[in-house]
Amino acid sequence: MICVEGLSRSHRTDDGELRVLRGISFSVAEGELVALSGPSGAGKSTLLHILGGLDRGYAGKVEVFGRDLARLGEKELGAYRNREVGFVFQASHLVSGLSALENVLLPAYFGGAPPERTRAMDLLARVGLAERAAHPPSRLSGGEKQRVALARALYHAPRLLLADEPTGALDPENARKVIALLRDLCRETRITAVVASHEPEIWRAADRHLRLEEGVLREIPAEGAA
């Protein structure tokens, strides 16, 4: 599913070159929920961006679905991002002038495909928000906004879901709901998810827990995830 070998990434700063990832290697199987932890600035977001085809300035091999991302042309990479990867971020990034349903349908509008309202409604029902479909973001709680964002990320039925601190702005109850949704989605639909989070509950819910520190990746045994 995902095979990363010798992945390195550096950024230029005013103080010189900053090595964010230092030759890391790991693999992820289909249907796994993988938690990614580490201190701020450890490279979690950078790794997610690379896996999602948003960052190409790396060294090493990143293979997803049997394809080396570095060998994809811009058109192929765009298709990969739009059709096979779903992104969820800490901020829901919903469009304020649209309803929850219309926000879920945004991938169809951007992709030039006819919107499938039935599918969007089914996804809202899946995240427990069917009755809120007509409501704009201003009438949704933080947890509801994040669940709409999750439904939107799933609209194109991606094979890979990448989430960057998806519960960081949520209260404990709503965080638990989002975590349970992510876990259930992986188990029921075989979608693969990599979730960067400081939240121990996500670490415990995940199939595996990987930790990034000073550019080095290590796996945390299940009993030590907390």
Give the model confidence (pLDDT) of 145-158 as tens digits: 999 999 999 999 99
pLDDT at 153: 94
| Per-residue pLDDT, 116 | 94
Dist CA 179 CA 205 (whole Å) = 7
Higher pLDDT, 110 or 189: 189
Q: Provide the pLDDT for residue 226.
A: 37
- What average pLDDT does this structure show over 19-35? 95
Domains of the chain and any CATH numbers: 2-224 (3.40.50.300)
> pTM, whole model, 2 decimals?
0.90
Confidence grade of residue 80 (pLDDT, cut at 50, 70, 90): very high
pLDDT at 223: 53
Q: What is the pLDDT of residue 224?
A: 42
> Which has more confidence, 90 or 25?
25
What is the rounded CA–CA span in Å between residue 210 and residue 44? 10
Model pLDDT, residue 210: 97
pLDDT of 174 over the 70 cut:
yes
Q: Is the dihedral of CA 100, 161, 78, 143 positive or negative?
A: positive
